[in-house]
Amino acid sequence: MRKLLVPALFSMVAAGALVAGCATPATPGAVGSSSPTSSSATTSDTTTSPSAPGTAAGAVTITRTGGMAGVRQTLTVTADGSWVYTDAKTGSTERGMFTADQRAAVVQLLSNPAMVSQLAQRSTPSACNDGFIYTIAMGAEQFTFADCGGNGLPKQLIAALSAATPF
C-alpha cells in the first residue's frame, strides 16, 4: 500500500505546484513573485501560522535535526508553492513562495518515481557522526534518513530546497 499511496501524494503536490505556477502576482519581487529575488522572497517573524504546518492537504514537511550544533529546522512546502521555515533553536520563522524555476525543480524531484524508492532504501538512519537526520513527511507517510554522503534524489531535493529557502 505504501508504494501506491506515496506516489499518489507526490503527484498531488506536483500537480498543485504546477497549477500554482500559472499565477503571477501584480507586484514584481513581492512574496510569491515569479521574478527571482533573494531577499524579497522571504519574510521573518517569530509568530506561528494560523494553522499548524503540515496540516494543509498536499503539504510536504522536511525536518532536519542533529549536526554538531544540534539543529532542529523544519520546512513545510504546500501545493501552491508557498513554504514556511522554522528554526526551533532560534525561535525564528520565515515564509516565502518559490519562483517558477524553483517550483519546477522541486516538482520534478518530488514527482520522480525513483524518489520514493530511494527514500525507502535510506529510511533507516545509520550512524553518522555529526551528520543531519532528515525526516520527510507527507500525509501519513514518513521517511527518515541520515545525510552520510551519497548523491541520490533525496539529497538533490534537500539541495534544491536549501537553495530556495533558508533551510
Residue found under cell 494543509: 56
The overall average pLDDT reported for the chain is 72
Instruction: Identify which of 134, 135, 164, 128 has the alpha carbon closest to the alpha carbon of residue 149.
Output: 128
Q: Give Dmax over CA atoms of the chain in angstroms.
A: 49
Which is more confidently placed, 165 or 143? 165
Calpha distance 59→76 (Å, rounded)? 7
Q: pLDDT tens for residues 118-138?
A: 887 766 556 677 889 999 998
**For residue 102, what pLDDT is reported?**
96
Pick 156 or 32 by higher pLDDT: 156
H-assigned helices in the chain: 2-20, 100-111, 113-121, 153-164
pLDDT digits (tens, 9 = 90+) for 103-120: 999 999 988 999 988 887
User: Is the pLDDT reported for residue 167 higher than 90?
Assistant: yes
Cell numbers placing 106 = 522541486
| pTM of the predicted model as reported, rounded to 2 decimal places | 0.67
Q: Is 109 left (phi over 0), alpha (psi -120 to 50) or beta?
A: alpha
Kindly report, residue by residue over 73-88, the tens digit of the pLDDT.
Answer: 999 999 899 999 999 9
